[in-house]
Amino acid sequence: MTKLLWGRRRPPLGLAATSVLVVALLVSPLALIVAQAAQGGWAKLWAALDRAFVASLLWNTVRLALAVTALAAALGTSMAWLTERTALPGRRAWAALLVVPIVVPDFVLAWTWSSMFPSVHGYWGSVLVMTLHLYPLVYLPMAAAFRASDPGQEEIARALGLTRWQAWLRVSVRQARSTLLGGSLLVCLALLGYYGAFEDLRYQTFTTAIFGEIQTQFSPQVASSLSLVLVGLSVLVLASEAAFSERGVLRRSGPMAQRAQSPAALGRARLPAVCSVAAVVAPAVGFPVFVVVYWLFAGGSSALPAAVSLGAAAGYTALYSALGAAVATVLALPVSLLATRHPSRWSLTLQRSTFAVQAVPGIVIALALVYAASHFIAFAYQSPELLVAAYAVMFFPLGLVAMTASVARASPRLEEVGRSLGKGPVTVRLQVTLPLVAPGLAAAFCFVFLSAATELTATLLLVPTGVQTLATQFWAYAEEGASFGAAAPYAATMMLMSVVPAYLLGRFFDRSLAAEKAGGAQVLGALT
């Protein structure tokens, strides 16, 4: 039923060259960080790392990552099962609500909890907040997998004697195993990169330590060396996922039409099921929204003056995020085309290496760019272009993932047919390929925009003089001013700005799966 597809034709030179260039650009921050860390010599680097402090950071980071990844995976999968495979009352509404946490940035979520319940801090506080924030990264792809799965296979399993529950576990969940791994990977990597939330929750991780180093030490060497450890951790996570997942692009070759799943009836378990979903939605969605609204109206001004007005901050945020999204989308297109149209070990490696960029946390990319700008590209120093470049680099993999399904759908065979019908190559690309790829491009744009608009860590380091984004101004109020009332409008604006792209993104995933079941398998392949 599935066929592993390997092409045997070489890609056009222009496409290959562009892709290699893009990937080289993305991977260069890593090289810069290594250069910066080695500035004082390798012995000094090792001495900076070989300390009990670093060991405690490692312990903190690892145990948090394990706990949150496991919990988020369990939560995401179970919620996905409830909304996609059971007869849960109000399924569609719950499904929409469960995705909302994507719109709430990590540092805002942590702030809502710590402002109302200061006792939420440290390890357990971080586990709670991070799980509530990150489970959608597992929920979304798992829901897609469950929706697109073939009931025929489970039926066969049941004919072979397995119970319904066993059939689901051993057939569908196993098949969705790589999707689960992919989602867990995203959770883990995101966790490693966060700064704001941990600062707020007073939990020492590598990112808070890196910022601490920047604020107390007068050379960037120690900060860079910590960054290297962080990157090492991320690469480890990436490698372990690669070891467990399957290779190749999965394509379903079978009859196009597919029967719908019959949802499992819950019977008496209906009320507990609804309660459990509500028990997730309430703290993950209801609570932060409530707190933001509360502080909006409870007011309380701050003596801290805003460097820029709310409107200006929103304008800067929108502008830089949009530019970053545009650049990332444009860069991702050749790589995506190469990966889908000329799949080979070579192009897959290229694609995978761009995911290695995801392993480099935002702070590290920012540090590398600052280093590059101050040493090599003087005109870019403290410029908005640098910030836009940071966004494009950091969120490039997200854009790639979002557009791969659409690009795969726009097969070159369709272009050939179009040409045989008498249309020139450019016309065919405009009339055939572009409409098919456009939803994917839009989804990539939305995904990157969403992530950039709520980005804090890199922005803190790269924001040009005189400019504030919603995130940095919020941070100034929430952390430095400890003034909740003044911070709330910025949080609210950030969340509102994220709603539209998040909604569009959700619809894209929904439609691309409902319209073509075969596309669903491709999305699965793209997400893993």
Partner 1 sequence: MSTVRLSGISKSYGRLPVLAGLDCEVPEGAVVAVLGKSGSGKTTLLRLVAGFERPDEGTIEIDEDVVDSAQRFVPPERRRVGYVAQEGNLFPHLTVEKNVAFGLSRAERAGGRAEELLALVGLADMGRRYPHQLSGGQQQRVALARALAPRPRVVLLDEPFSSLDAGLRASLRSDVMQLLREQHATTVFVTHDQEEALSVADLVGVMEGGRIRQFAAPEDLYARPLDRTVAEFVGEANILAGHVSSGWADTALGRLRVADALLPNYDGPASVLVRPEQITLRRPAGSSEEPAGTVLQREFYGHDCLLVVGFGATRLRVRCPGRPPAEVGEKVVLSASGEVACWPAPG
Partner 2 sequence: MAKGKRTRPAQTPTRARDYWYRRLLATALAGVLATALAAVGCPTAPAGASGTRADAITLYNGQHPQLTQAEVTAFEKQTGITVRVRTDDGVVLAEQILEEGARSPADVYLTENSPELMLLSQHHMLAELPKELLEQVPARYVSPTGNWAGVALRVSCLVYDPERVKASQLPAHLIQLAEPRWKGKVAIAPTDSDFLPLVGGVVATYGKQAALRWLQGLKANAVLYADDESVVAAVNRGQVALGVINQYYWYRLRAEVGPRNMRSKLYFFPRRDIGGLENISGAAVLASSRHKQAAERFVEFLVSSKGQRILAASDDYEYPVRPGVAPNPALPPLRAVRPAVLSVVKLGDDLPAAALLQQAGLT
Question: Which residues are at the interface with partner 1 (CB under 8 A)?
Answer: 8-9, 255-257, 409, 411, 413-414, 416-425, 428, 431-432, 435-436, 515-516
Per-residue CA distances from 31 to 36, 371, 458 (Å): 9, 11, 18
The DSSP annotation for 495-518 comes to HHHHHHHHHHHHHHHHHHHHH-HH
Give the position of tokens 């030490």.
Answer: 217
Residue 289 or 312 having the CB closest to partner 2? 312
Residue 231 or 405 having the CB closest to partner 1? 405
Binding part of the chain for partner 2, among 92-100, 132-140, 199-207, 449-457 by CB under 8 A, reads 199-207
What end-to-end distance do the CA atoms of the chain give, in Å?
19
Per-residue CA distances from 348 to 191, 276, 333, 494 (Å): 26, 40, 15, 36
Kindly state whether residue 310 participates in binding partner 2, applying the rule CB under 8 A. Answer: no
Kindly state whether residue 436 participates in binding partner 2, applying the rule CB under 8 A. Answer: no
Judged by CB under 8 A, which of 163, 166, 262, 427 binds partner 2?
427
Question: Cβ(61)–Cβ(188) under 8 Å?
Answer: no
Q: Which of 59, 56, 202 is nearest to 129 (CA)?
A: 202
Judged by CB under 8 A, which of 20, 58, 214, 518 binds partner 2?
214
Residue 418 or 501 having the CB closest to partner 1? 418
Contact partner, 280, from partner 1, partner 2, none, Cβ < 5-8 Å per class? none
Binding part of the chain for partner 2, among 68-76, 243-251, 319-327, 492-500 by CB under 8 A, reads 319-327
Judged by CB under 8 A, which of 1, 4, 31, 51 binds partner 2?
51
Residue 281: partners with Cβ closer than 8 Å, 6 or more residues away: 94, 97, 98
Residue 239: partners with Cβ closer than 8 Å, 6 or more residues away: none
Judged by CB under 8 A, which of 71, 186, 323, 491 binds partner 2?
323
Contact partner, 414, from partner 1, partner 2, none, Cβ < 5-8 Å per class? partner 1
Residue 115: partners with Cβ closer than 8 Å, 6 or more residues away: 291, 295, 484
Binding part of the chain for partner 2, among 129-137, 201-209, 409-417, 444-452 by CB under 8 A, reads 201-209
Kindly state whether residue 465 participates in binding partner 2, applying the rule CB under 8 A. Answer: yes
How many whole angstroms separate alpha carbon 353 and alpha carbon 27?
8
Binding part of the chain for partner 2, among 44-52, 357-365, 394-402, 449-457 by CB under 8 A, reads 44-52
Least gap, CB of 114 to partner 2 (angstroms):
10
Per-residue CA distances from 307 to 110, 264, 311 (Å): 24, 55, 12
Question: Cβ(454)–Cβ(496) under 8 Å?
Answer: no
Residue 2: Cβ-neighbour burial (10 angstroms; 0-12, 13-18, 19+):
middle
The two structure tokens encoding residue 214: 């920047």
Kindly state whether residue 482 participates in binding partner 2, applying the rule CB under 8 A. Answer: yes
The two structure tokens encoding residue 458: 């890199």
Contact partner, 505, from partner 1, partner 2, none, Cβ < 5-8 Å per class? none
Least gap, CB of 254 to partner 1 (angstroms):
10
Other beta carbons within 10 Å of 307: 14
Least gap, CB of 503 to partner 1 (angstroms):
22
How many alpha carbons lie under 13 Å from residue 153 in its C-beta half-sphere? 16
**Interacting residues with partner 2 between 53 and 82 (CB under 8 A):** 53, 56
Contact partner, 382, from partner 2, partner 1, none, Cβ < 5-8 Å per class? partner 2
Contact partner, 417, from partner 1, partner 2, none, Cβ < 5-8 Å per class? partner 1
Least gap, CB of 333 to partner 1 (angstroms):
18
Residue 202 or 419 having the CB closest to partner 1? 419
Total residues binding partner 2 (CB under 8 A):
57
Question: Cβ(120)–Cβ(201) under 8 Å?
Answer: yes
Judged by CB under 8 A, which of 305, 345, 413, 420 binds partner 2?
305
Least gap, CB of 5 to partner 1 (angstroms):
13
Check residue 247 and give left, alpha or beta (phi > 0: left; psi -120 to 50: alpha): beta
Residue 325: Cβ-neighbour burial (10 angstroms; 0-12, 13-18, 19+):
buried
Least gap, CB of 255 to partner 1 (angstroms):
7
Residue 29 or 439 having the CB closest to partner 1? 439
Per-residue CA distances from 316 to 16, 322, 324, 468, 502 (Å): 35, 10, 12, 7, 20
Binding part of the chain for partner 2, among 100-108, 149-157, 459-467, 497-505 by CB under 8 A, reads 459-467
Residues in contact with partner 2 by CB under 8 A are 48, 51-53, 56, 118, 199, 202, 204, 208-209, 211-220, 222, 300, 302-305, 307, 316, 319, 323, 326, 374, 378, 381-385, 388, 422-427, 430, 464-467, 476, 479-483
